[in-house]
Amino acid sequence: MKGIFTALINSFDEKGNINEQGLREIVRYNIDVSQVDGLYVNGSTGENFMLSAEEKKKVFKIVKDEAGDEVDLIAQVGALNIFEAKDLAAYVTDLGYDALSAVTPFYYKFDFEEIKDYYNSILEDVDNQMLIYSIPALTGVNMDLKQFGELFENEKITGVKFTAPDFFLLERLRHAYPEKLIFSGFDEMLLPASVYGIDGAIGSTFNVNGKRAKGILKAVHEGDLGEARKLQKESNDLITAILDNGLYQTIKELLKVKGVDAGYCRKPMKKPGDEQIESAKEIGRTLLD
């Protein structure tokens, strides 16, 4: 598993129900048009933490049905309810997902032993690999090199989705664990992360910027830093505009510009206002590739 993985956005109808046809279109757009290497399903970008367990299963099933074996699929199964996380891990493994991922448990201040037990428990009954999903800005869980090392002692834990602006730790991890997979998680930092030898990246904006992201990885691998910087600058102009206009709403509106029925966000996220929709169209006209 290597390359650019889209953190798949979800599609809801006006009432907040999963829009199956829209979700299928999003999958197809990522595979056929952006030609990404894989999909990361039910992450933050998929509005996972606002879904019931049954809805998460529905999304996993639709995505696998649509994508088949065309690209690698990673299922984010992390949940504070450990029984739910284990059940989802078994479910997606049966469906044929290539890897699991689980966000570090959040909200309660779990100590490291508890975090380690969470991962080992999710994995004890399934035959699949796991990428730790580390996103300290949203979970408050900051792990150091030694703690990552302890988690990596479980052979089923094959890597990490590293969503943090900590390049010192990223370099130390790469150096210490050359055999583990490291996916970077901040799209605006793809170029510097690539220079440190990541295996790939997982990101929300790849839903609409997958080609440039692939170009950045390729340019870095070929040693063409001029091209990599040009593509990262273009990407960051787009990412800045998306973040200013509302991350998930704008990605959905941009997909609509491309003819994909990306629908709406689920409450408590807001529907986009007229001004936000107009700005998204302008972003589509000026900043998409």
Is there a binding annotation on residue 65?
no
Active-site residue identified among 40, 133, 248, 264: 133
Active-site residue identified among 161, 180, 214, 252: 161
Residue 223 sits at φ, ψ, to 5 deg, of 75, 15
Query: CB-based burial of residue 12 (10 Å sphere; 0-12 exposed, 13-18 middle, 19+ buried)?
Result: buried
- 271 and 264 in contact (C-beta within 8 Å)? yes
By C-beta, is 157 or 208 nearer to ligand NGF?
A: 208
Shortest distance in whole angstroms from residue 113 CB to ligand NGF: 25
Which ranges constitute the DSSP H helices of the chain? 20-28, 53-67, 82-95, 112-124, 136-139, 145-152, 167-176, 190-195, 206-221, 225-245, 247-257, 274-287
Is residue 161 annotated as a catalytic residue, yes or no?
A: yes
Shortest distance in whole angstroms from residue 205 CB to ligand NGF: 5
- 70 and 37 in contact (C-beta within 8 Å)? no
- 90 and 126 in contact (C-beta within 8 Å)? yes
By C-beta, is 205 or 232 nearer to ligand NGF?
A: 205
Shortest distance in whole angstroms from residue 91 CB to ligand NGF: 19
What's the sign of the alpha-carbon dihedral 7, 119, 138, 20?
positive
| Contact positions vs ligand NGF (CB under 6 A) | 7, 40, 43-45, 137-138, 163, 185-188, 202-205, 239, 243, 247
Shortest distance in whole angstroms from residue 40 CB to ligand NGF: 6
Is there a binding annotation on residue 188?
yes
Query: Which among 105, 97, 107 has a CA at the least distance from the CA of 132?
Result: 105
By C-beta, is 125 or 240 nearer to ligand NGF?
A: 240
Using CA atoms, how far apart are residues 85 and 121, in angstroms rounded to an integer?
9
Which residue has the CB atom at the shortest distance from ligand NGF?
43
Is there a binding annotation on residue 235?
no
Using CA atoms, how far apart are residues 126 and 93, in angstroms rounded to an integer?
7
Is there a binding annotation on residue 163?
yes
Is residue 119 annotated as a catalytic residue, yes or no?
A: no
By C-beta, is 150 or 288 nearer to ligand NGF?
A: 288
Q: Which residues are catalytically annotated?
A: 133, 161
